[in-house]
Structure 1
Amino acid sequence: MSVSRPMGRAFFSLIAHCVQQAAHARGYLVWIAATNDDPSSDLELIERMHDHHVDGLLLASSPGSTIPLGKMGGIPTVAIDRPLRGAGVDFVTVDDRAAAREAVSHLLQHGYKRIAITGIDAQIGAIQERILGYQDAMRTAGLPALPYIRCDDAASAIQICKTLRTGKRPVEALFPLNGDTSVLFLEAFEELRISIPRDLAFFSYGDIPLSRAIRPRLSAVQQPIEAMAEQATLRLLKQIEQKTKPSRARIKIPASLVIRESCGCKRKGRIKTIPSM
């Protein structure tokens, strides 16, 4: 069995760890390969895995990647976190839209009306779903949604902070749509001496390791990584062991909100389970 993923991200590292545990319990060895978000690498990786006669493949595809079913080489495959367009395989992911909608709704309940979203490449399916969730919440509240802002590095985060904090109507709350971007903004806040939530409320998508270590503690969407990895692995093992065909199912695992202080709340560590849409 093999797992393909973008390297260097804590989210996918944890997915790989959970997959290894679930597969090892059934006697499978897991190979991990990186596509580095390069669509051309996806097909090349699949071809190489086919040459090595792997039993099955879990694939978090690159943004914009499309792989025809005929190119899969008959390898049992399950897509995880990111859909594998054109391949006709099962897809297991977080219910990102519902999670983002609930996080933004929580910020709106505090009275914030100018809520900005930022993050990595908006071509990524999970980011698109989170943007839709943000727009759902703003529309329900009768407020205009602000444009999505891409943030690629520390310098971008600092410039975005400066831009959002100036003008006649500065942003009141910031919601980065992935964990790595949240870290970039925490560093920017430190450099610019922005105090959360006094100067800017903050909600992180992804309960990053820093969430409980810094002050104030971060409110965050807690992604069900272990449940997602286990569900994807079990679906793949069923195809391998029972020789079943993929059902082309789209399985969404509900996330949770962990409410701490960065959003403006006083109570610490409350967890709210989010129902799927």
Structure 2
Amino acid sequence: MVQKKGIGKSQRQTPTIREVARVAGVGVMTVSRVINDHPAVKPKTKKKVLTAIQQLGYERNEAAGLLKGQRAMMIGLIVPDLSDIFFAHCANTIEKLARESGYLTLIVSSGHDVELETQQAELMARRKLSGLLLVTSGTLDVNRIQRVIEGGLPIVAFDRPLEGLGTDAVLIENRAGAEEAVEHLISHGHKRIACVGFDSEAYPVAERVKGYRSAMSAHGLRPYLSMKVDCLEAAMNWVDSARLKQDAPTAVFSTNYRTTVHLLRAFSERKVKIPSEVAIIGFDDFELAPVIAPPVTTVGQSAVDLARRAFRLLLDRIEITGSDVGRSPEKILLPATLIVRESCGAHPRSKKTAEPV
């Protein structure tokens, strides 16, 4: 007597979501969407998946799957600081995309602690997550993270690469964006341009400083760096100190959003007029930049695009099985865009160079 399909499951292993995907001829993500009744799946595709589920006798059991070594339908996300608006936008985007794809998201903040980041990655590997998106604060322990990768956890780094590891990365063109910003200040006639910020060891800031140095060097100008301006008090002290210099800067390139905001407030407190007394460009656009007086010229980078590309790349890696062994890591570079407003003054270059701060 022929046994009906789906009966006698005790005589074989419980079917997995990957088996369903293989029989249906679709990706794991598509199967997950059907299971979670996601509206984005076409009726024809949904029918194929449901037929495969019935044929194999697949039953979703997350806990049992974990015990059998299967991976949870969950994405891990590690960022340095969730209070940072840039990383908050990234986290929100990833959580939304994961939900739409049938995944839960485990989001944690490392507090800029590299050792804690490593521990968090190891914990996510032990919990059999499907994949990990990581924004590192510095140089991770290569050997420990390599073991995590070899254990089967796909990792995609974004905003900063994982040096010394064969992982995919989605990055911003920080250096080119900084060069364009400084060139813009130079085109306004500025020669004494300060680079102000903090966390110069972090990859994005280090790249922006390199871009600043490159532009200054190309025009034979002396760099002026101050990389410890991480709060309002430090910004006030920097403005007070700069105003006393005989060769005071006439323009400022700020390496990040927080420093830009602190500097704007410090200039306001000290009655320093922008742009007639000092011009300013900040890396990272922000919501109030177009509406404050004067509107602030910035270098914009899209947290949403960055997070979206990183998530899509991770899903690709999750769906790939053994066929990706030995593949080269993928590096995606997204543009940084100069957004010209009024904080640098008006063109053309024939305008008189700004007076010192």
Tell me if TM exceeds 0.5: yes
User: Who is 1:141 aligned against?
Assistant: 219
Please name the residue that 1:87 is paired with: 165
For 2:147 and 2:127, how far apart are their aligned partners in 1?
18
Against the structure 1 CA distance between its residues 64 and 133, is the aligned structure 2 distance closer, same or farther, given a 3 Å change threshold? same
Report the counterpart of residue 271 of structure 1 in structure 2.
Answer: none
- Contact 2:139 2:162 survives alignment (8 Å): no
- In structure 1, how many angstroms separate the alpha carbons of the residues matched to 2:310 and 2:328? 13
Secondary structure at 1:33 match in 2: strand
Change in CA separation of 1:56 and 1:71 when aligned onto 2, cut-off 3 Å: closer
Higher relative contact order (CA 8 A, sep 6+): 1
- The 5 A counterparts of 1:123-272 are 123-243=201-321, 244=324, 247-265=328-346
| Matched-pair contact (CA < 8 Å) for 1:99–1:255 | yes
Alpha-carbon distance in 1 for matches of 2:108, 2:247? 46
Q: Please state if 1:121 is matched with 2:202.
A: no
Identity among equivalent positions (%) equals: 34
Cα shift at 1:255? 1.3
Match of residue 79 from structure 2? 5
Shift of residue 2 of structure 1? 1.3
Query: Cα distance, 1:225 vs. partner?
Result: 2.1
Partner Cα separation in structure 1 for residue 164 and residue 116 of structure 2: 16
Provide the rounded CA distance (Å) in 2 between the counterparts of 1:241 and 1:193: 57
Distance 2:342 2:141 in 1: 41
Partner of 2:45: none
Q: Secondary structure at the match of 1:105?
A: helix
Aligned partner letter, 1:159: N
Post-superposition offset of 1:148: 4.0
CA 27–247 in structure 1, closer or farther in 2 if over 3 Å, else same: farther
SS at 1:57 equivalent: strand
- Judge conservation of contact 2:199–2:227 (CA < 8 Å) in 1: no
Contact 1:78–1:89 (CA under 8 A) maintained in structure 2: yes
Q: Is the deviation greater in 196-205 or in 161-170?
A: 161-170
User: SS of the residue aligned with 2:315?
Assistant: helix
Q: What letter is aligned with 1:194?
A: V
| 1:46 and 2:121 matched | yes
Q: 1:35 aligns to what?
A: 110
Task: State the 1:32 CA deviation.
Answer: 0.8
Indicate the residue corresponding to 1:274 in structure 2: none
Matched-pair contact (CA < 8 Å) for 1:117–1:176: yes
1:85 positional shift: 2.3
Is the contact between residue 200 and residue 227 of structure 2 (CA under 8 Å) also seen in structure 1?
no
Single out whichever of 21-30 and 5-14 deviates more from structure 2.
Answer: 21-30
* Separation of aligned partners in 1, 2:246 and 2:198: 27
* RMSD of aligned residue pairs (Cα, Å): 1.7
How far apart are residue 167 of structure 1 and its match? 1.7
Gaps of 5+ in 2: 1-74, 349-357
Which amino acid counterpart does residue 63 of structure 1 have in structure 2? G
Please name the residue that 2:18 is paired with: none
Q: What is the rounded CA distance, in whole Å, between the counterparts of 1:66 and 1:221 in structure 2? A: 32
The count of corresponding residues between Structure 1 and Structure 2 is 267
What TM-score, normalized to structure 2? 0.72
Classify the secondary structure of the residue corresponding to 2:344: coil
> Which string of whole-angstrom CA distances, capped at 9 and with x for unpartnered residues, describes residues 57-97 of structure 1?
00001123343312443210000101222332011110000
Partner in structure 2 of residue 109 of structure 1? 187
